[in-house]
Amino acid sequence: VCAQLQIRKKPDLSIIPASGTICAYDSILLSANNNYSFYSWYEDVGTNCIAGNYINSGNTIKVAPLTTTTYTLIADSLGCKDTACVTITVNPKPVITVSATPSTICQGASSTLSYTSTVAITSQQWYVSNAGCTSFTAIAGATGTTTVVTPNATTTYAVIGTTAGGCIEIGSATGRERA
């Protein structure tokens, strides 16, 4: 008497990208490397690669964690399962507050622009901006933490700051001319 045992290939699973770094409030697309019958994505607590909270099925998901998070993917191919994990590192996004001192000046006078940030800024550039902060013209040489301006009319200024983690944010202030 003979018995034949059928062997099914275990999925060779990985997640693309294999790791990732984003800024808080940004998102990243995670994909399985192959097509299998069934996928389950889990958001882990910590970075231990232990399936935590079920979040989705399918071979691709878009995630936007606010803190560093590990995602576990379990694939099933005809009853054979494999697991892969990826940790997404989340860098804090700065909140930048700009001030002009003084904020109201007489024509021909100067004002000093400065900013504070909730996260250390490693590089910055100052700009003249429209009131809605949707278009910018760089102020030549204005790459320090403060800059002195002498506007001829009420003007909106912005600073775009970048953190060591690559997170970028805009802060703005409007300087007014005294009538």
- Average model confidence (pLDDT) across the chain: 88
DSSP class per residue in 17-81: SSSEEEETT--EEEEESS--SEEEEEE-SSSS----EEEE-SSEEEE--SS-EEEEEEEEETTEE
Check whether 132 has a pLDDT greater than 90. Answer: no
Q: How many helices (H) and strands (E) does the chain have?
A: 0, 16
Least confident window among 21-35, 70-84, 86-100, 144-158: 70-84
The pLDDT value recorded for residue 176 is 59
β-strands 80-91, 20-23 pairing: parallel
What band does 177 get if pLDDT is binned at 50, 70 and 90? low
pLDDT digits (tens, 9 = 90+) for 19-63: 999 999 999 999 998 777 788 999 986 667 777 899 998 889 999
User: 10 Å Cβ neighbour count for 131?
Assistant: 10
Give the pTM: 0.76
